Structure 1
Amino acid sequence: MKKVITFGEIMMRLNPEGYLRLLQAQKLEMSFAGGEANVAVSVANFGMKAAFVTKLPDNVLGRRAAMELQKYGVDTEAIVYGGERMGIYFVEKGASQRPSKVLYDRGASAIALAERPDFDWEHILEGANWFHFTGITPALSEGCAEICEDALRVCKEKHITVSCDLNFRKKLWSKEKAGEVMGRLMKYVDVCIANEADAADVFGICAGNSDISKGELDRQGYVSVAQQLVERFGIKSVAITLRKSISASINHWGGLLYTGGEAFFSPEYMIQIVDRVGGGDSFAGALIYALNSGYEPQKAVNFAAAASCLKHTMEYDFNLSTLEEVNSLMQGNASGRVQR
């Protein structure tokens, strides 16, 4: 049986209704999300067993976050309870030329203060064949970086496939620190996932003539990025999301999967964005599902791009598109006509 374990932080998300700014808001909508939690929901939503591991405060908010994951079929048995608080982030959705903004309040969260004895990885990883984490988790604290490495060592012993989304967050650590820690962890990684800036920020590997601020992407430059990551760290496969931001409301979206010395590009989609937060995580979750299901490289990247395209049309972070919807889009049914 295929089973995916993800490890990281889940937070409470608060956002104004619609496109109101925080300065205008009279009330805030509550949801829960985090990079690895978003991936677990995607995997479970497609019908594969998924579990999420973290540490949450033993209070009503911690239990509520776990209930949200359980609602979508994610196993939460390995969540540890303790600590004082869970992280919070505020989202202000952008439109047209006004970008979306995210404000974090995650200091001293339960997972950031977690300790290595909190997690029995031998037990947690029993029966799993895939483990996923992001560069956000080891950035939370020295302790989280050590906990990640503990998990990765057990994965190597058990021959569990490891994927990592680089997900550099400048508000959590410096590029130098990220390069040092992630460079140490990458020796355990089989599948590396990144966006147009992560490889440059973390490892100084740039994509040729691309200019992400102008929405200009050099496809061959990204192939070079993938090749360099493979050569430097011995990674088996590299996936890169390709986003052309026309505005906060309109993006062109696709993906690249580099594996076996060959590059596979997905079709490119033009998206009228409803909510782009969690878009990269939906690509990662769909790619993990596809590769863990034995999809060939071209089909896998096509599936990941189509699934994450659909996520951009949904409120909040979780991707709740179905296999039927993703397969329909992959087959070219992109008109958005009403289905009856």
Structure 2
Amino acid sequence: MDASKIRGGTLNERRTGPVVCFGEMLLRLSPQGQIPLAQAGSVAIDVGGAEANVAAALASLGVPTRMMSVVPDNPLGRKAIAAMGAAGSDTRFIVKAPAKTPGRIGLYFFEPPAGPIAGRVTYDREGSSFALADPAALPFAEALDGASLLHMSGITPALGPDGVALARAAVGAARAADVPICFDGNYRANLWDAWDSDPRAILTELMSEATLMIGNHRDISLLLGTTFSGDGPDRRREASEAAFEAFPKLRLIASTARHVETAGTHRIAARIDLRESHWQTDEVRIENIVDRIGTGDAYAAGMLRSWLAGGSAQEMAKSGLALAALKHGVPGDMVLVTEDDLLAFDPAAGDVRR
């Protein structure tokens, strides 16, 4: 296939326009001290959301980003906007829904793992301002003007028929503006199961327009209706080759493989598949995990930071893995580090840098 005819240019092309991240912004509420939610008397509040996490991480690394979302015009919505602005992202395209209209900001509660007890997420996001937004009222064309990339995920269409309409509008606007799309599968079974949905058909439709995919063999199995194994590099390559065959516009698949030893110790490897080649890192062992929520978004941001700079598959995998590893030591959804922090990442380091 002629790479020059595929949206997004060549792999080693440097891209300087902003990355537009489109998706729902959430507030995360977490009990302190590993107290179960049902017994908690107080919670910490953090701003998050898959696409917002990517926008914030990229902005902290010096990559221009524009966050596009809808929040209520109330103190909680303003808190979400302020957090993105503090991270360095352009917030002009976060629409404030009028106070008189239905809607609220989506919430989720996170109970961190404690000993043998696994972590748990409880969503409270139905009827949010984002989920109820009218696609025609959103400034897609303005946000995508001069952009290098649209980053979105499968969480938006999982919100219901209105979420599907929002995702389709974003994809259509990117196609009209000739802006490449990065689509992160981010499959959320609980959201899809809450309504009469057909996730395979909807996600396949959206993925057909993507240049970059973030997802593993399980995501590809869902899209193609065929079971692929993740046991070893050869099996993962088989899944990627099937995805490239099914989606002609797709040029890159980024994924990670995680092995959980205990709640506080994981081993992670990163992988980049191109049509003609692939690269996989060695595993990094991460101990004393503070917070694993948002690590996939950190990997996406680290990988995209290198893709935007025209990096190789090896550079993209290493950059993504480094930022994902760093996120495990940061509480909350977002990881904000400098370029120097990322370049200095050493999986064996534990002492103070002076």
| TM-score band, normalised by shorter chain | over 0.9
Q: 1:205 to 1:192 in 2, by over 3 A?
A: farther
Q: 1:245 to 1:201 in 2, by over 3 A?
A: farther
CA contact (8 A) 2:131 2:159 kept: yes
TM-score by length of 1: 0.93
SS in structure 2 of the partner of residue 23 of structure 1: helix
The match for 2:163 is 144
Q: 1:247 to 1:197 in 2, by over 3 A?
A: farther
The match for 1:49 is 64
SS in structure 2 of the partner of residue 337 of structure 1: coil
| 1:306 corresponds to 2:322 | yes
User: 1 CA distance for matches of 2:197 and 2:233?
Assistant: 27
Q: Deviations over 1:229-274 (max 9, x none)?
A: 1111121111111111112211101211001321111231111211
RMSD: 1.7
Per the TM alignment, residue 181 of structure 1 is displaced from its structure 2 partner at its CA by 0.5
Equivalent of 2:212 in 191, 204, 212: 191
Higher relative contact order (CA 8 A, sep 6+): 2
CA contact (8 A) 2:23 2:49 kept: yes
User: 2 CA distance for matches of 1:143 and 1:251?
Assistant: 37
The match for 1:276 is 292
Deviates more, 1:105-114 or 1:91-100: 91-100
The match for 1:123 is 142
Letter in 2 for 1:328: A
Q: Deviations over 1:37-65 (max 9, x none)?
A: 00101110110100111111111110111
User: 1 CA distance for matches of 2:217 and 2:53?
Assistant: 20
The match for 2:258 is 243
Equivalent of 2:332 in 302, 305, 316: 316
User: 2 CA distance for matches of 1:193 and 1:325?
Assistant: 24
Unaligned runs of 5+ in 2: 1-15
Equivalent of 2:348 in 322, 325, 334: 334
TM-score by length of 2: 0.89
The match for 1:64 is 79
Per the TM alignment, residue 176 of structure 1 is displaced from its structure 2 partner at its CA by 6.6
The match for 1:4 is 19
CA contact (8 A) 2:28 2:48 kept: yes
The match for 2:131 is 112
Letter in 2 for 1:143: D
Per the TM alignment, residue 130 of structure 1 is displaced from its structure 2 partner at its CA by 0.6
The match for 2:11 is none
Per the TM alignment, residue 337 of structure 1 is displaced from its structure 2 partner at its CA by 1.3
The match for 1:22 is 37
Q: 1:97 to 1:204 in 2, by over 3 A?
A: farther
For 1:28-47, what aligned pairs fall within 5 Å after superposition? 28-47=43-62
CA contact (8 A) 2:220 2:240 kept: no
Q: Deviations over 1:194-225 (max 9, x none)?
A: 146333344434442x4xxxxxx422221111
The match for 1:221 is 235
Letter in 1 for 2:137: D
CA contact (8 A) 2:19 2:55 kept: yes
Unaligned runs of 5+ in 1: 211-216
Letter in 1 for 2:264: S
Letter in 2 for 1:74: S
Deviates more, 1:16-25 or 1:65-74: 16-25
Equivalent of 2:244 in 220, 230, 233: 230
Per the TM alignment, residue 327 of structure 1 is displaced from its structure 2 partner at its CA by 1.4
Letter in 1 for 2:281: S
Deviates more, 1:314-323 or 1:277-286: 314-323
Equivalent of 2:301 in 285, 291, 297: 285
User: 1 CA distance for matches of 2:54 and 2:292?
Assistant: 15
Letter in 2 for 1:40: A
SS in structure 2 of the partner of residue 246 of structure 1: strand
Letter in 2 for 1:339: R
SS in structure 1 of the partner of residue 311 of structure 2: coil
User: 1 CA distance for matches of 2:184 and 2:56?
Assistant: 16
Letter in 1 for 2:156: T
Letter in 2 for 1:140: L
Letter in 1 for 2:180: T
CA contact (8 A) 2:56 2:84 kept: yes
User: 1 CA distance for matches of 2:340 and 2:203?
Assistant: 36
Q: Deviations over 1:263-310 (max 9, x none)?
A: 111231111211001111111111111101111111111110111111
How many residue pairs get aligned? The number is 331
